[in-house]
């Protein structure tokens, strides 16, 4: 069986040059790693250290990523129709403003 790993990272941009970088936080980024063997994930000695390094390796002199956390998805997501959510929000709004 394979799993999907979703990594949340802080994204930074360099507002200076590469000799004296000035990193400014610019929000979050998500990394998605699909098709990972579930046994490899379950028995990893230090998965956080591995994922921290993987995310850091995506950085360059202009963009930097720092690991914040991760989720291992063992199952595919359940899709919910956006109309259901939109209708529920509209109903809630009508109840509050009636």
Tell me the residue range of the domain where 57 lies.
2-96
Mean pLDDT of 43-52: 97
Mean pLDDT rounded to a whole number for the chain = 94
Q: Mind spelling out the 3-state secondary structure of the chain?
A: CEEEEEEEEEEEEECCCCCCCCEEEEEEEEEEEEEEEHHHHHCCCCHHHHHHHHHHCCCCCCEEEEEEEEEEECCCCCCCCHHHHHHHHHHHHHHHCC
Mean pLDDT of 43-68: 97
Residue 98 has pLDDT above 70, yes or no: no
As for how many domains the chain has, the answer is 1
- pLDDT beyond 80 at 63: yes
């Amino acid at each position: 069986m394979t799993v999907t790993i979703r990594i949340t990272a802080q994204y930074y941009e360099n507002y200076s040059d590469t000799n004296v970088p000035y990193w400014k936080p610019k929000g979050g980024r998500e990394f998605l790693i699909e098709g990972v063997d579930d046994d490899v994930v379950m028995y990893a000695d230090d998965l956080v250290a591995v994922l921290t390094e993987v995310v850091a390796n995506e950085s360059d002199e202009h963009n930097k990523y720092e690991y914040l956390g991760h989720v291992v998805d063992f199952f595919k997501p359940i899709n919910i129709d956006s109309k259901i959510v939109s209708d529920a929000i509209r109903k809630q709004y009508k109840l509050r403003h009636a």
